[in-house]
């Protein structure tokens, strides 16, 4: 897989300001607590590798520096598997599928008082305190359209 290794995108991912609430909430949890669930690790790694196209070893090294339950073999194997073996996980679809709205509100105070649709796809609304996404990918279109059908 060709990696683009955009340093600015890497820093946004590390700082949890990608503009993708599902990713940012989990990265903020990691940065603040040193913890991230396995499902979160998979989703943040998938976005990192398959959407941002950053070398998986950069993400593995970042997790190594942050995780309080860090284990060398588990971390590096999981990142390698995400880069080369495991299927892609769409962060927009995953945020809706796993009903992550309250989790996102907990970790992203800029979205705390927003309705469900604004929490899941804030780029569709005028929310000045939350960053615009690095990119909105066409492969997310179906998930975005499903969220737009939510009754708020």
Task: Say which DSSP state 74 is in.
Answer: H
**pLDDT confidence of residue 87:** 81
pTM, to two decimals:
0.95
Tokens describing residue 36 = 């991230």
**pLDDT confidence of residue 146:** 95
**pLDDT confidence of residue 86:** 78
In the chain, the number of structural domains is: 1
What number is the average pLDDT over the span 62-74?
A: 95
For the chain, what is the mean pLDDT?
95
What number is the average pLDDT over the span 9-21?
A: 98
Q: Is the per-residue pLDDT at 4 higher than 70?
A: yes
Where helices occur in the chain by DSSP H, the ranges are 7-15, 21-33, 38-46, 56-66, 72-84, 91-97, 101-107, 116-120, 141-148
**pLDDT confidence of residue 152:** 65
Lowest model confidence (mean pLDDT) among 10-24, 35-49, 76-90, 94-108: 76-90
Range of the domain at 117: 1-152
Q: Is the per-residue pLDDT at 20 higher than 80?
A: yes
**pLDDT confidence of residue 89:** 95
Q: What is the CATH number of the domain that holds 43?
A: 1.10.579.10
Q: Is the per-residue pLDDT at 85 higher than 90?
A: no
**pLDDT confidence of residue 56:** 97
Q: Looking up tokens 């995108």, which residue turns up?
A: 9
**pLDDT confidence of residue 59:** 98
Phi-psi region of 99 (alpha: psi -120 to 50; beta: other; left: phi over 0): left
């Amino acid at each position: 897989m060709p990696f683009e290794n955009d340093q600015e995108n890497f820093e946004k991912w590390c700082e949890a300001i990608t503009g993708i609430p599902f990713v940012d909430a989990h990265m903020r949890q990691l940065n603040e607590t040193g913890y991230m669930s396995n499902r979160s690790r998979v989703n943040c790694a998938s976005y990192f590798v398959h959407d941002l196209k950053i070398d998986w070893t950069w993400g593995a090294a970042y997790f190594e520096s942050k995780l309080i339950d860090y284990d060398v073999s588990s971390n590096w194997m999981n990142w390698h598997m995400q880069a080369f073996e495991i299927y892609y996980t769409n962060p927009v679809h995953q945020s809706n599928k796993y009903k992550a709205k309250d989790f996102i509100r907990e970790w992203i105070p800029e979205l705390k008082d927003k309705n469900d649709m604004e929490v899941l796809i804030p780029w569709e609304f005028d929310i000045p305190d939350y960053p615009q996404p690095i990119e909105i990918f066409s492969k997310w279109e179906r998930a975005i359209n499903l969220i737009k059908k939510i009754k708020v």
